[in-house]
Amino acid sequence: MAAAAVLAAAVSCGRAGRTAIVRDAEIERKVEATLSGMTLDDKIGQMVQLAITNILDESLAKIDTNKLNTVIGTYRVGSILNVARNKANPAAATADLVREMQRVSMRELGIPCLYGLDMIHGASYLDEGTLFPQEIGMAATFNLEAVRAMGTAIGYESRAALVPWVFSPVMDLGRNACWSRHWESWGEDPYLSGEMSRVLVLADQGEDPNHIDKEHVATSIKHYMAYGVPLSGKDRTPAYVPYNELRERYFHPFKESIEAGALSLMVNSASINGLPVHANRELLTGWLKEDLGWDGMIITDWADVNNLYKRERVAEDKVNALALAVNAGIDMIMDPYDVACCADLKKAVEDGLVPMSRIDDAVRRILRLKYRLNLFDEPTWDTSGYELYREDFIAAAKQAAIESEVLLKNEDGILPLAQGTRILVTGPCGNSMRTLGGGWNYTWQGSKVDEFTESYNTIFEALAAKFGAANVRYVPGVAFNEAGKWYEELSPEIPAAVAAARQADVIVACVGENSYCESPGNLDDLTLSENQRNLVKALYQTGKPIVLILNEGRPRVVSDIEPLAKAVVDVMLPGNFGGDALAELLSGDANFSGKLPFTYPRAVNDLHTYDYKVSELVKTMGGMYDYDAKMEVQWRFGDGLSYTTFAYSDMSVDKTEFVSGDILTVSVKVINTGSVAGKESVLLFSSDLVASLVPDNRRLRAFDKIDLAPGESKVVELKLPADDLAFVGYDGLWRLEEGDFRLAAGSEHVMVRCARTKVWETPNK
């Protein structure tokens, strides 16, 4: 490390003596020079982000120069978000808007504007973006290379439109299946979420967070934190999470991402334990900036400072709400609707509610991000050389879709279906691109996909292409009311579907959810709609075998219809290639390899995660005193079948006794015992047998995905740092406790023992 960099690193060290990103001394010098020339108005403006509608003309497609001059020239606003016309645009048109913003920003301020979009599963706001499965499906692949490919496409295609900043990845843990953003998460597990997030951040940004090149973007990891576990299950409502759980589980993916170089972070719109996260100084400044020594930038979510006084009522008015948030550690205020935010923030400073040192710190972080993106030197450039929708991106998105779809049942080996099979496709998801895509898909609610997806195949179209148009029919049975709310269904035409089923050999019943996002996706009952369940029950009466396809953003309860199906596939939200992927899989031209990244509930009162406390399922006493609170699930975390079978054997570990700091190497042999090639995700779980807090049943600690030809075997080696077996105790401190641990993979397990307890005095290990 160069001497200057070492010095800068020392300056930015956090409470725990660590620094997330090693600073670039030259960038720091430039940040200070720019800051020193700024007025209070300049600084305030940099801290405000407005929605693009504030600078567009009536067509909502073009910039209104007067508005732009006012927003940037008068109010000195430093950042813009969201899309023109509220839906995806061509890359060239987006780039033109950015050029105009930058021209005015450089002329008026000498500081580039920071434009950000929600590109969460591909460049989802470009009409030609390559769209991958939503994160929940990417998690089901258990394939970090697939995630890397998605990040590469996001970075490249966003920059093709001169978009330098994306509000992604989502790393809220999807531990409440009711939550309307479950599908935006990597599922319920902290380790899986941490690995996927880290890899996506690196792929989006590239390896050097100080110098983001023209094929990469800055990330805004979100939504910090515990946003995925509202007690009510409704979006943006309070979560109640013990601090040791926050530290051990919810913080993990954020910490991993920040240590990988994530440059900015967006905050959970709701409250944890009664305190809105936007007002939580301990979590924002303490845990992120001080403990991790992180010099990145924290942005609010949509209008969330307003929520502090209008909704959460922890402040009297906007000025006080701004002071609360900025003092807690917010650096940029996403205030989409109102430039008046600038005057309010200025008043908060002039009234002495926010110290100038905090303003300077926030602005430094914003400038640093702009320098790291090299926007000062090159705010725009000629983008004609970029090739959108590249063949390698398409291939990666298709392969990811194949690996994301999870086979959960295959009674009597009904799948794969032979060529010549007469197939009835039915159900509201059977002929819809909208249901395959989900939200953040050309539009926020994913509702206008048909304008963009003409060239892609729905499930019906893909099956017709694969099995021959003469063999495949589509009769909806139940349809979504596209003009109504996402969950509204048109009066069922079940008899027509039943009649068609009688002419078919197999029924492919595609049930689930229409697309939604955020609060509009709130739900009162996790059970799949009655119409759709009635459709499946009526189809069952025909005696024809049913292949149940679940196309949904969260696990809707299907326990009464699951027994009626011979096969079940959860495709979740596989994106534009999801129909083709399913056709490949159902025909046997490709093999299933996805595994559930969440626990699929069987009953609405039994919402559960795989890492439940052991006391939840252990029988301790009999009779009336039986404490057994047994909960049943429909499918477990990690469940997923294949057309072949894998046998595990010879599991071993290089150390049976270990102490903190050791790395355990666990090996297990996996053999493909079936007759077709297949991929297997090998998952390593640990169980702490006795601990000072009730131990978790099991925890995922490592995974790898391998490819095996029939009869082939491989020895998979998984590295397990001993310190990963630590947990956060009741006192909030990390502890690795002496005693026995069980390590398991597939049918195999080994026992290991920690020889000495270690308790960390620092907040992070």
Write out the catalytic residue numbers.
301
Task: HSE, CB side, 13 Å, CA atoms: give it for residue 134.
Answer: 30
Q: Decide if residue 191 touches ligand BGC (CB under 6 A).
A: no
667 neighbors 714 (Cβ within 8 angstroms):
no
* Axis crossing angle, helix 144-160 with helix 190-205, rounded to the nearest 10: 40
Could you give the CA distance from residue 641 to residue 325 in angstroms, rounded to a whole number?
48
Which residues on adjacent β-strands are paired with residue 479?
490
Which of 301, 570, 611, 688 contacts ligand BGC by CB under 6 A?
A: 301
In angstroms, give the least distance from the CB of 346 to ligand BGC: 24
- Residue 612 interacts with ligand BGC (CB under 6 A)? no
Residue 335 Cβ vs ligand BGC, minimum distance, rounded to whole Å: 12
- Report, in Å, the least distance between residue 235 CB and ligand BGC: 8
Please check whether residue 390 is in contact with residue 547, taking contact to mean a CB–CB distance below 8 angstroms. Answer: no
Tell which positions 37-96 bind ligand BGC, by CB under 6 A: 81-82
Q: Residue 304 CB, nearest distance to ligand BGC (Å)?
A: 9
Question: Which x/- pattern over 264-293 shows residues binding ligand BGC (rule: CB under 6 A)?
Answer: --x---------------------------
Q: Which of 513, 518, 639, 688 binds ligand BGC (CB under 6 A)?
A: 518
CB-CB contact of 758 with 680 (8 Å): no
Do residues 732 and 634 touch, judged by C-beta distance below 8 A? Answer: no
224 near ligand BGC, judged by CB under 6 A: no
| Minimum CB distance to ligand BGC smaller for 266 or for 736 | 266
- Over its C-alpha atoms, the chain yields an Rg (Å, rounded) of 26
Nearer to ligand BGC, 51 or 319 (CB): 51
Shortest Cβ distance from residue 178 to ligand BGC (Å)?
A: 17
Nearer to ligand BGC, 206 or 228 (CB): 228
CB-wise, 278 or 466, nearer to ligand BGC? 278
Pairing of strands 165-166, 218-224: parallel
The pattern of x and - marking residues 405 through 444 that bind ligand BGC according to CB under 6 A reads ----------------------------------------
- Torsion angle (degrees, nearest 10) of CA 647, 653, 654, 660: 150
Our separate counts of H helices and E strands in the chain read: 21, 31
Give dist(CA 382, CA 15) in Å, integer. 44
- 132, 167, 371, 480: residue in contact with ligand BGC (rule CB under 6 A): 167
237 belongs to the binding site for ligand BGC (CB under 6 A): no
Site for ligand BGC in 95-154 (CB under 6 A): 118
Q: Which of 64, 211, 302, 691 binds ligand BGC (CB under 6 A)?
A: 302
Give the DSSP per-residue string, 312-379: S-SSSSHHHHHHHHHHHT--BEE-TT-TTHHHHHHHHHHTTSS-HHHHHHHHHHHHHHHHHTTTTT-S
Q: Please work out the total of residues on this chain that contact ligand BGC, with binding judged by CB under 6 A.
A: 9
User: Which residue number, 300 or 686, has a Cβ lying nearer to ligand BGC?
Assistant: 300
Under the phi-then-psi rule, with left for phi > 0, alpha for psi from -120 to 50, and beta for the rest, what region is 83? beta
Cβ neighbours for 181, distance < 8 A, ≥ 6 positions apart: 170, 172, 174, 227, 228, 235, 517, 518, 521
User: Phi and psi for 138 in degrees, rounded to 5?
Assistant: -60, -35
CB 205 within 8 A of CB 216: yes
As measured in angstroms, the least distance from the Cβ of 227 to ligand BGC is 8
Q: For ligand BGC, give the closer residue by CB, 83 or 406.
A: 83
Closer to ligand BGC by Cβ: residue 167 or 577: 167
Give the residue with the Cβ less far from ligand BGC, 121 or 222. Answer: 222
Q: How far is the CB of 269 from ligand BGC (least distance, A)?
A: 6
Report the nearest approach of ligand BGC to the CB of residue 296 (Å): 16
Q: Measured over all CA atoms, what is the biggest interatomic distance in the chain, rounded to whole angstroms?
A: 79
By CB under 6 A, name the binding residues for ligand BGC: 81-82, 118, 167, 222, 266, 301-302, 518
